[in-house]
Chain A
Amino acid sequence: MPETVLLKGVRRYGEGEPVDVLAAEGVIAEIAQGITPPEGADVIDAEGHVLLPGFVDLHTHLREPGREDTETVATGSAAAALGGYTAVFAMANTDPVADTAVVVEHVRRAGEAAGLVDVHPVGAVTVGLKGEKLAELGTMAESAARVRMFSDDGLCVHDPLIMRRALEYSRALGAVIAQHAEEPRLTVGAQAHEGTQAARLGLAGWPASAEESIVARDCILAAHAAARLHICHVSASGTVDVLRWAKQRGTQVSAEVTPHHLLLTHDRLDTYDPVNKVNPPLRTGADAKTLREALAEGVVDCVATDHAPHAEQDKDCEWQAARPGMLGLQTALSIVAETMVRPGLLTWRDVARVMSERPAEIARLADQGRPIAEGEPATLTLVDPDARWTVRGAEFASIAANTPYEGMELPARVTATLLRGRVIARDGRIR
Chain B
Amino acid sequence: MKHLLAAEGLDRDTVTDLLDTADELKHTLLGREVRKLPTLRGRTVITVFYENSTRTRVSFELAGKWMSADVINVSAGGSSVGKGESLRDTALTLTAAGADCVIIRHPASGAAHRLAHWLADTPAAVVNAGDGMHEHPTQALLDAATMREKLGSLDGRRIGIVGDVLHSRVARSNVHLLTCLGAEVAIVAPPTLLPSGIGTWPVTVSHEIDAELPSLDAVMMLRVQAERMHGGFFPSAREYAIGYGLSEARAALLPEHAVILHPGPMLRGMEIASRVADAPNALVTDQVANGVHVRMAVLYHLLASEGAESA
How many angstroms between the C-alpha atoms of A184 and B200 in the bound complex? Answer: 27
Q: Say whether B81 faces chain A, with CB atoms less than 8 Å apart.
A: yes
Complex alpha-carbon distance, A197 and B196, angstroms: 10
- Selected from A194, A202, A205, the residue in CB contact (under 8 A) with B131 is A202
A180, chain B: closest CB distance, angstroms = 22
Cα distance A194–B169 in the bound complex, in angstroms: 17
With A200-B197, A205-B195 in contact, do A317 and B87 touch (Cβ < 8 Å)?
Answer: yes
If A202-B135, A202-B169, A317-B86 touch, whether A272 touches B110 (CB-CB below 8 Å) is yes
B250 touches A (CB below 8 Å): no
Cβ contacts under 8 Å, B107 to chain A: 320
Contact in complex: A199, B197 (CB < 8 Å): yes
Let me know if B88 and A198 touch, CB within 8 A: no
Interface assignment of A321: CB less than 8 Å from any CB of chain B: yes
Does B197 contact A196, Cβ atoms closer than 8 Å?
yes
Of A196, A273, A320, the residue contacting B200 (CB under 8 A) is A196
Asked whether A195 lies within 8 Å of B196 as measured between CB atoms, the reply is yes
CB neighbours of A204 from chain B (8 A)? 133
B178 CB, nearest partner CB in chain A, Å: 16
Residues of A within 8 A of B201 (CB): 199
- Considering the chains assembled together, what is the distance between the CA atoms of A191 and B110 in angstroms? 12
Q: Is the CB of B110 within 8 A of A316?
A: no
Q: Which residues of B contact A313 (CB under 8 A)?
A: 86
Any chain B CB within 8 A of the CB of A271? yes
Q: Is A319 an interface residue (CB 8 A)?
A: yes
- Cross-interface CB contact of A321 among B80, B117, B133, B134, cutoff 8 Å: B80
A272 touches B114 (CB 8 A): yes
Residues of chain A within 8 A (CB-CB) of B172 are 200, 202
| Contact flag A318-B195 (CB < 8 Å), given A202-B109, A272-B114 | no
Q: Do A207 and B196 touch across chains, with their CB atoms under 8 A apart?
A: yes
Q: Evaluate contact between B86 and A319: CB separation under 8 angstroms.
A: no
Residue of A191, A273, A319 ringed by the most chain B CB atoms within 10 A: A319
Q: Which of B80, B81, B108, B195 contacts A198 (CB 8 A)?
A: B195
> Is the beta-carbon distance between A318 and B79 smaller than 8 angstroms?
yes
CB of A201 within 8 Å of the partner chain: yes
Residues of the A chain whose Cβ atoms lie less than 8 Å from the Cβ of B252: none
Contact with B along A176-209 (1 / 0, CB 8 A): 0000000000000001001111111111110100
CB < 8 Å: which of A191, A196, A203, A319 contacts B114? A319
Chain B CB within 10 Å, residue with most, of A197, A313, A317: A317
B-contacting residues, A203-258, CB 8 Å: 203-205, 207
Contacts of A203 in B (CB 8 A): 109-110, 132-134
Would you give the shortest CB distance from A209 to chain B, in whole angstroms? 10
Chain A residues whose CB sits within 8 angstroms of the CB of B81 once the complex forms: 317, 321
Q: Does any Cβ of A come within 8 Å of B293's Cβ?
A: no
Q: How far is the CA of A191 from the CA of B196 in the complex (A)?
A: 14
Contact A318 B110 (CB under 8 A): yes
Interface on A for B, CB 8 Å cutoff? 191, 194-205, 207, 271-273, 313, 316-321
Beyond A195-B196, A201-B134, A203-B134, list 7 extra A-B contacts (CB 8 Å): A194-B196, A194-B197, A195-B197, A199-B196, A318-B80, A318-B108, A321-B81
List 29 A-B residue pairs with CB atoms under 8 Å apart, sorted by A's residue number: A191-B109, A196-B200, A198-B196, A198-B197, A199-B196, A199-B198, A199-B200, A200-B8, A202-B109, A202-B110, A202-B133, A202-B134, A202-B169, A204-B133, A271-B117, A272-B110, A272-B113, A272-B114, A317-B80, A317-B88, A317-B114, A318-B79, A318-B87, A318-B110, A318-B111, A319-B108, A319-B109, A320-B132, A321-B108
